[in-house]
Structure 1
Amino acid sequence: MTTGPGVLTASYVASTADGWLASNDPPEPQPYTYRLRTPCAVDTDAGDVCRPDDDALCPSLPDRIVQVMVVERRLVVLPGGNTIDPSFDPDGAAPGTPVGPWASQPRVCVDITALNPPPSPAEVFRYFQTLPLPELTTQQQPPGDGLVGLPVIFYTDSPTTQTFTLDIRGFTVDIVATATGFTWHTGDGTDLTSTDPGAPYPDQTVTHDYSSGTYTAWLTTTWGATFSVDGGASTAVPGTTTTDGPPVTFDVLQARPVLTNPYD
């Protein structure tokens, strides 16, 4: 259950042989309730600048969510009607009632998989990198062979957006991928970059001059994305990925003038 941006609650947080583990299924009645806060949430509440979490320092485990969290705990009333701290008077409160202030514990890597939080942007990015994104094809004009002195026009007419719907731990995640950058490898050692997919004549935006020879060109597309969880607001995926389109090979010929008799 979330209690605010960057905050999770848990019934049980403990250090185990495999690291810190959070759960809502404690092995026995616990004297504390816990909340887990991201370092960014803690820094913001303290009036500091929000710094990126150090999740890269945590182990990457298959099908597990391990994040840097600030662990805080608070006394609760036990089934016997008291707490483990005799200085607190529960005053007849029901078992499980929180008592007293939150106390900060370590800032550590915690396995929060059992709490089943909504997918984070970093988690969605990991899925985004594995999606079967389109490999955009390269079109050139003139079609077939080119001519020295006549720039070759490059463009792609492949779709530059695609939507994917994934199930991530029971959450429906819609990812809208959009081509944000294009790198045209011309085959002669030159790379042309653009933020548009190019266009055919007469609206061309990507062109290249060649000397005579045979060339193989292809297109690398950079993809960005946004995502939403269970139909909620869209959020940017924090990162990009690329795909390489199929190569095209063509000749560039040297045209030579030939005198002819116009009366023949």
Structure 2
Amino acid sequence: MADVYPSGSSPDNPERWFEYVAVIACRGNGPDAPDRVNCQFAISYCDTFQPGSSGPYSYIHRRVADDSGPLGTWEPLGPTCFRTDVPARSGESAPELTEAMILEQFHRTDFALPTMSIEPPDGRTLVNLPVFYELVWPDEGYEPGEIDTTDIIGFEVRIRPTLDSATYHFGDGTSAGPTTSLGGPHPNGDITHEYANAATVDPHITVVYGGEVSVDGGAWSTIPGTATIDGPLNPLEVLTSRNRLYDD
């Protein structure tokens, strides 16, 4: 298609050219909004009848254009399961979604900040008393397992964060991790710490996010990179407990 020109034009004399678009075969899509909707039919059709294709099942349209803009309406050409191979116009190769583009978008993800829940509550504990820590995901941002969907050069890109590791910083120079444990409350949480001295400390959690990516409804694959996110500080006052003896 990249080598095809309207009558009277050629690669040496490209006064006019064809513009192409691959419209995903789902109700609600059209040449001016080719990938607004993705549906199971378009995905499963190519998986079944064209395994190994980029998918999803789409219809190719083209129209004539020149430097002034479009010169006609879109006309259908036929179906394809190789949507990513459709060029934008005559004389141009199909746009290529690169690993670098995906990795850049991954680092732009609005990751959820790892929030720390502490027991005993209320920002106070005692010296030599076990403190229990738990990683809690806030409503804001994308936590592991949630999906951030975006468009990159016409491709629907879905990014799903994963938890690579979490490190629990206790604020006194010690830490636990990296680990995949989310900790937990008393008495069964497995992330605990005892403070040896009275002090005011600022424990927090650092999370390393991995990620998976799906392009145009395709299979999930691992993103070759990670993102390190620090959670907010949690002021904690460590107090000394003193026993007093009284005469009867």
Shorter-normalised TM-score: what interval?
0.5 to 0.7
Pair 191,28 (structure 1): closer, same or farther in 2 beyond 3 Å? farther
Structure 1 gaps, min length 5: 2-9, 12-24, 30-112
C-alpha distance in 1 between matches for 2:222 and 2:154: 21
SS of alignment partner, residue 183 of structure 2:
coil
The equivalent residue for 1:28 is 12
The equivalent residue for 2:164 is 180
The equivalent residue for 1:135 is 113
Extract structure 1 runs of 4+ deviating beyond 6 A.
none
Contact 1:153 1:201 in 2 (8 A): yes
C-alpha distance in 2 between matches for 1:160 and 1:191: 22
SS of alignment partner, residue 150 of structure 1:
coil
Output the amino acid matched with 2:231.
G
Question: What pairs with 1:185-264 in structure 2 (closer than 5 Å)?
Answer: 185-193=169-177, 194-210=179-195, 211-260=197-246
Contact 2:209 2:227 in 1 (8 A): yes
Contact 1:121 1:236 in 2 (8 A): no
Deviation at 1:114, TM superposition (A): 4.9
C-alpha distance in 1 between matches for 2:175 and 2:112: 20
Deviation at 1:147, TM superposition (A): 0.8
Greater percentage in strand: 1
Pair 241,260 (structure 1): closer, same or farther in 2 beyond 3 Å? same
Contact 1:122 1:237 in 2 (8 A): no
Cα RMSD (Å): 2.4
Pair 26,199 (structure 1): closer, same or farther in 2 beyond 3 Å? farther
Does 1:161 find its partner at 2:145? Answer: yes
SS of alignment partner, residue 111 of structure 2:
coil
Pair 151,167 (structure 1): closer, same or farther in 2 beyond 3 Å? same
SS of alignment partner, residue 247 of structure 1:
coil
Deviation at 1:260, TM superposition (A): 4.6
Number of aligned pairs?
Answer: 157
The equivalent residue for 2:38 is none
Deviation at 1:207, TM superposition (A): 1.1
Question: What pairs with 1:76-115 in structure 2 (closer than 5 Å)?
Answer: 114-115=93-94
Computing the radius of gyration over CA atoms, which structure comes out larger, 1 or 2? 1
Deviation at 1:120, TM superposition (A): 3.1
Question: What pairs with 1:19-58 in structure 2 (closer than 5 Å)?
Answer: 27-28=11-12
Pair 216,123 (structure 1): closer, same or farther in 2 beyond 3 Å? same
The equivalent residue for 2:99 is 121
Deviation at 1:200, TM superposition (A): 0.9
C-alpha distance in 1 between matches for 2:220 and 2:113: 25
Deviation at 1:172, TM superposition (A): 0.5
**Segment of structure 1 superposing worse, 155-164 or 194-203:** 155-164
C-alpha distance in 1 between matches for 2:182 and 2:105: 25
C-alpha distance in 2 between matches for 1:229 and 1:161: 17
TM-score norm. by structure 1 comes to 0.54
Identity of aligned residues (%): 35
SS of alignment partner, residue 147 of structure 2:
strand
* Counterpart among 147, 150, 164 of residue 126 in structure 2: 147
C-alpha distance in 2 between matches for 1:214 and 1:26: 75
C-alpha distance in 2 between matches for 1:217 and 1:125: 30
Deviation at 1:247, TM superposition (A): 0.7
Question: What pairs with 1:66-85 in structure 2 (closer than 5 Å)?
Answer: none
Deviation at 1:184, TM superposition (A): 1.4
Contact 2:144 2:160 in 1 (8 A): no
TM-score norm. by structure 2 comes to 0.58
